[in-house]
Amino acid sequence: MTLVTTTIAALLGAVIVMLVIVGVRGRIVDYEQEKTTSTALETVHVIKRGTLPPILPGSDDASVQVLNAQARVVASTSDLTGKARIADFRPSEKSVYASRSLCPPHGMDGCMTVVSFRVYQSDGDWIVYAANPLTPWYGSAGLCVFIICGALLVVLMVGIMTWRTVDRTLAPVDAIRAELAEITATESGRRVPVPANRDELRALAESANATLDRLDAAIEQQRRFTSDASHDLRSPITGARTQVEEALMYPEDADWPRVGEAVLGSLDRLNAIVSDLLELARLDASAEPPQDRIDLGELVSTELARTPRDKELRPRLDRNVVVRGDRLRLARLLTNLLDNAERHATERVDVTVRADGDSAVLEVTDDGSGIAPADRERVFQRFARLDEALSRDANGTGLGLPIAREVARAHGGTLTIEDSPRGARFVLRLPLAP
């Protein structure tokens, strides 16, 4: 950035220096032209007064030469004494003044600006020539050096200021980078420093810290999930192993059919946990679900008729409530909600399907004791089970409601627990299909 800025400053400086030199040279040229013209006019005045000497007074402004009507040199400054006429041009018949740039004039060295005046005399027109060195393209060497040195100084100052500004600006970035490089999965609690200035770097640091907060939460959730999954997987394995070991200790006294049934029960529980874990893994890794058009009321009606329930079901299903998604996963979501409601219901479960604006709404409500507001998000955590759920079904996996919520999210919807006069009211909202 410093190099780019300095290069741009140098280019701009070069352009400005050239413009200044051109402007100054124009003023110098005008000034020198005025001096030369003024010297020539003084000589014209002397001619008119009739007091023209053969050797004109020396002048630093210009070299002067006077020609009479016969084009003979009758007067000149000392540097042109004895020399022939320095120029051949003269003003036109309708003009008294003319100017040329000659490189060089006759008998002189270097390029000169030569002005010519026509002077009327009784014996004819006299000509006055005045010559002055031509102004070089850079105007004045001293002034040119001064301007260039000033421009270089400005470019150097711009480079130094840019370097310091960039260094100060990027210092927080270096600190953020260094801190991020130190963060690992085992040291994820660290945070990047937040600059004091309220600028884009502060916003970047705050965003990085917010991302690290979310990563920490995800890591902690993954740790809890791993711990809970290990515990839940270990329980049926340990139970089956214990029963088999006890039976093997006294094989003659063991009730092998009862042992087999107990082991099968543990294996069934283990199979249920593994199946739910695989389903969650697929939901976590899967892309957008298939976009089949599904009548939500028809789907619920089919699923209610497929499996008999122990509790009374009261469906209120509107037709033509169409959504897009995966039929099998939406059926799994409904089954999980019905299983949970039946487990906690006293006598009946109400199932409602309706349209609400741009959303399709599915409600499953039981008439049980309900869920306290403080626990309404907890029940959607993986392997989280309330005390009442454990007392009603000790063999549950604690993954049914988390799976249901992940299915809802995969379909662009939400699954929440809302207020109800009695029992728990699970509300699923999905976008209606166009």
Q: Looking at residues 244-258, what average pLDDT do you find? A: 84
Report CA-CA distances (Å) from 131 to 39, 115, 222: 10, 7, 96
DSSP 182-251: H--STTTT--PPPPSS-SHHHHHHHHHHHHHHHHHHHHHHHHHHHHHHHHHHHHHHHHHHHHHHHHHHST
Averaged pLDDT of the chain: 83
- The pLDDT, as a whole number, for residue 388 is 59
**By C-alpha distance, which of 45, 49, 87 is closest to 65?**
87
* Tokens matching residue 190: 């660290």
Query: Mean of the pLDDT values across residues 236-241?
Result: 80
Residue 229: which pLDDT band, with cuts at 50, 70 and 90?
low
Nearest to 113 by CA among 37, 45, 57: 37
86 Cβ neighbours under 8 A, 6+ residues apart = 63, 65, 80, 102, 105, 106, 107, 108, 114, 129, 131
pLDDT for 187 equals 61
Instruction: Using the predicted structure, report yes or no on whether residue 191 has a pLDDT greater than 60.
Output: yes
What is the percentage of the chain residues whose pLDDT exceeds 70?
A: 90
Taking the C-alpha atoms of residue 79 and residue 65, their distance in angstroms, rounded to an integer, is 10
Return the ∠ at Cα 121 (arms to 116 and 123), rounded to 5°.
115
Choice among 81-90, 269-278, 375-384 with the minimum mean pLDDT: 269-278
Of 103-117, 194-208, 323-337, the one with minimum mean pLDDT is 194-208
Q: How far apart are CA 118 and CA 125, in angstroms?
A: 6
Higher pLDDT, 293 or 310: 293
- First CA to last CA distance, the chain: 51
Q: What is the pLDDT of residue 201?
A: 75
Please state, in angstroms and rounded to a whole number, the distance separating the CA atoms of residues 60 and 267.
118
- State the DSSP code for 21: H
Q: What is the mean pLDDT of residues 247-271?
A: 82
As given in the structure block, the two tokens for residue 20 are: 């200044």
The pTM assigned to this predicted structure is 0.48
What pLDDT is stored for residue 278 in this prediction?
75
Strands of 10-96 (E only): list them: 55-56, 63-67, 73-77
CA distance 44 to 50: 10
Q: Which helix (H) or strand (E) holds 125?
A: strand 124-133
Asked whether residue 361 carries a pLDDT value surpassing 90, the answer given is yes
- The better pLDDT of the pair 118, 22 is held by 118
Least confident of 55-59, 323-327, 337-341: 55-59
Cβ atoms of 406 and 284 closer than 8 Å = yes
Highest mean pLDDT among 161-170, 185-194, 285-294, 296-305: 296-305
pLDDT, residue 392, reads 52
Q: What is the three-class DSSP state of 86?
A: coil
- Kindly tell me if the per-residue pLDDT of 81 is higher than 60: yes
User: How does DSSP assign 307-348, residue by residue?
Assistant: S--SSEEEEEE-S--EEEE-HHHHHHHHHHHHHHHHHH-SSE
User: To which H or E segment does residue 276 belong?
Assistant: helix 256-285
More confident residue, 199 or 148: 148
pLDDT for position 294: 92
Most confident of 95-99, 262-266, 276-280: 95-99
User: What does DSSP assign to residue 65?
Assistant: E
Report the share of the chain in percent with pLDDT over 90.
15
